[in-house]
Amino acid sequence: MKGLPYKLTGILLLAFVLFSCAGNYASEYEKQRDQKVETLLQEMTLEEKIGQLMQKNGEFPQLREYIEDGLVGSILNVPDPKRVYELQRLAVEESRLGIPLLVGRDVIHGFKTIFPIPLGQAASWNVDLVEDGARIAAIEAASQGINWTFAPMIDVTRDPRWGRIAESFGEDPFLNGVFGAAMVRGFQGDDLSNPNTIAACAKHYAAYGWAEGGRDYNTANIPESELHNVVLPPFKMIIDAGAASIMTAFNEINGIPATGHVPLMRDLLRQEWGYEGVVLSDWRSLEQLVIHGYSPNEKEATYEGMQATLDMEMVSTGYETYLPELIEEGRIDESQIDDAVRRILGMKFDLGLFENPYGLGEDFPELLHPSHLEASRQMAIESVVMLKNEDVLPVPEHVRSIAVIGPLADAPHDQMGTWVFDGEKEHSVTPLQSIREFAGDNGLEVYYHRALQLSRSKEITNADAILRDVNRADMVLLFLGEESILSGEAHSLANIDLQGAQEELVELVSGPGKPVAAVIMAGRPVTFEKAEPYMDAVLYAWHPGTMAGPALTDIIFGKVSPSGKLPVTFPRHVGQIPIYYNHKNTGKPPSYESWVHIDDIPEEAVQYSLGNTAHYLDYGFEPMYPFGFGLTYSSFELENPELENPTLQVGDTLRASVVLQNTGDVEAAEVVQLYTRQLFGSLTRPVKELRDFKKIVLEPGQSREVVFEINTQDLGFHNPDKGFVTEPGDYHLWLGTDSRDGLKKEFEITR
């Protein structure tokens, strides 16, 4: 360090010492963990080892006996903290080796404090909020003895018919990876042994969101290039974020069920990516290898699971029944079981369960703490996407009476959304409650009608009374959508229109000519093109969670501006599916000049030029709303796009900037999105790919330079014949506020 300034020398020395200490600590920690694990392994019988590979449901009748005999590694679905404590006590104090239990629970988008569904969280385009939400969920769950959650779900999907799109972060691999990693950080914190953290489990590996026809559990037929460039990248991102575990998928992938998929699990996940965490089956998915027609019986399914390095079996019993026999036959080596046990015991060590199996010593805040509810409210606010506004929102000051109508205005259970095990509707604050409170404080009159008992009800009740109150109100707030039961696992739909008589309800309330602002709560994109012309404003609120009411009231009455953006493309008609922004160009790309609508074809025509491009005669080629779209109460302009260097080499950093200005009258947030396109390559590439985004809050008239830095290596893709490649050639770049529009620049990557 001769010749360096004294101050810099000191900084470098300090950095060296800290790095060395960190390295020594890591080595010492790993040494302690390995020593603990190996000591236990040496003491364990084969039966006890296999027991660690078993996860039992809380309703298993012999659960206590199995735990006392050391034959259970994990339990799930035990919602009573007192029972969790007792079962953990049995494992630690009554079993021969005292190995603690992993206690699993589906903590998907909150525990008691329920946040928006994950698809809604993605609509916030706010990574910090998503991480904070997972942190709160972890704290609440850990306070009840839970130490393992089966989230995040990072299944990329392009089909809103699939019910579990509600649990995903949408159609884009980058968004799924970014938000999945945020959830991992939130659940696991900086130190997994801290009692207020829980282990994450990324799911479902892999291609579960690719279910044919959007029908849950269905076959996934997917080209290798799509598998590696769209489906798998989020999993690599959450591995890099430190996810403690991964769950396999129910589906088969190109003929091989995911739970026994040796190339994806052993070869890619373990060997190529070096993943050392726990891999868990989904509910009975190992025995389903037989039902798929891949394994002739459960014994062979057990063999396939072990060959694929599946560590733990959820609920089903193939491992405990057949592994001893397979070892005796020499088909499975006991060392394979030892490796799985090492990973499971290592996860328990990382969670600090050997030192503190009961999660004691943490001063947990109360469930539904005011700060937790405020975080849920903020997440709900930022998740709402305004799709349309013809100057009716926020509610103008001259409005003195409002008709609140619809089945979702006061539906405390449904507003929480799918996959909520521990949230309670008694804690939900509904839009009707909040609007009435606001109205009472501000001298407004509120007329309320549910109109439909359920979102899928086919008859409107009290139509005359509804019309009477619409006529005497200054405007209508219409709450539509779908109940929570209509989305989620096994809740796929072939028809994703507004269900029941909702379209008729829209026409009914719009008849008197009063302004109509619609709020749609749903677990997926719904198609509402027929009803949209009758709506003067549309707020898409997904299922917003516990604090839906205060959040929507803040937006409706202008306390805050909506700022959400769509994480998934909205089709105009179900027949357009799949429709997504990052599609390929085809050899005959569509355009408005080439599109001939079916109504424009002369009735007498026998032959007619139909444009000869990739479009539908009736619904064209454009979605109803594009990926990344969302309006605010303000207006924004982008100008002065710049590239620092339009010619780069592989490994260089691409630096792009643009100036964002709030040209409206209110403070608002805008999401600046960066997309690129590789114009040609060894495989055809999508017309656009999201590479980064930033959410910026600006005061009226304020402007800010927004800068992005991207390594050109991250612009590469997987070619099955070549591996991951970043290729030289011409590229386009867009800086915009949705995937359809943007300021365009060009750059080149050279060798």
Residues with Cβ within 8 Å of residue 290, at least 6 apart in sequence: 296, 297, 298, 300, 301
- Whose tokens are 């963990």? That residue is 33
Q: What angle do CA 195, 198, 201 make, to 5 degrees?
A: 165
| 63 φ, ψ (degrees, to nearest 5) | -60, -45
> For residues 743 and 735, what is the distance between their CA atoms, to the nearest angstrom?
5
| 273 φ, ψ (degrees, to nearest 5) | -85, -15
> Cβ of 743: how many Cβ atoms within 10 Å?
15
Q: Is 282 a catalytic residue?
A: yes
Query: Number of H helices and number of E strands within the chain?
Result: 19, 26
Cis previous bond, 686, omega within 30: no
Tokens of 273: 């990516």
Identify the CA nearest to 199 among candidates 76, 368, 324, 91. 76
Residues with Cβ within 8 Å of residue 709, at least 6 apart in sequence: 653, 654, 655
> For residues 663 and 703, what is the distance between their CA atoms, to the nearest angstrom?
9
**Cβ–Cβ under 8 Å, residues 512 and 188:** no
Distances (CA, A) of 283 to 166, 204, 255: 19, 12, 20
> For residues 199 and 146, what is the distance between their CA atoms, to the nearest angstrom?
9
703-711: strand order across its sheet: 636-643, 653-662, 703-711
Distances (CA, A) of 748 to 656, 711, 716: 14, 13, 13
The strand pairing partners of 675, in sequence order, are 690, 734
445-449: strand order across its sheet: 385-389, 537-540, 516-521, 475-481, 401-405, 445-449
Q: What angle do CA 396, 399, 401 make, to 5 degrees?
A: 145
Which of 155, 172, 216, 282 is labelled catalytic?
282
> For residues 595 and 611, what is the distance between their CA atoms, to the nearest angstrom?
6
Identify the CA nearest to 45 among candidates 66, 69, 68. 69
Q: What angle do CA 360, 366, 367 make, to 5 degrees?
A: 105
Residues with Cβ within 8 Å of residue 492, at least 6 apart in sequence: 161, 162, 163, 211, 214, 215, 216
CA atoms within 13 A on the CB side of 142: 31
**Cβ–Cβ under 8 Å, residues 288 and 307:** no
Tokens of 243: 């996810």
**Cβ–Cβ under 8 Å, residues 470 and 403:** yes
Q: Hey, is 257 helix, strand or coil? A: strand
Residues with Cβ within 8 Å of residue 112, at least 6 apart in sequence: 140, 367, 368, 422, 423, 424, 427
Dihedral sign for Cα 114, 105, 202, 158, please.
negative
**Cβ–Cβ under 8 Å, residues 316 and 287:** yes
> Cβ of 47: how many Cβ atoms within 10 Å?
13
Identify the CA nearest to 229 among candidates 643, 728, 714. 714
The two beta strands, 54-57 and 278-280, are: unpaired
Query: Active-site residues: which are they?
Result: 282
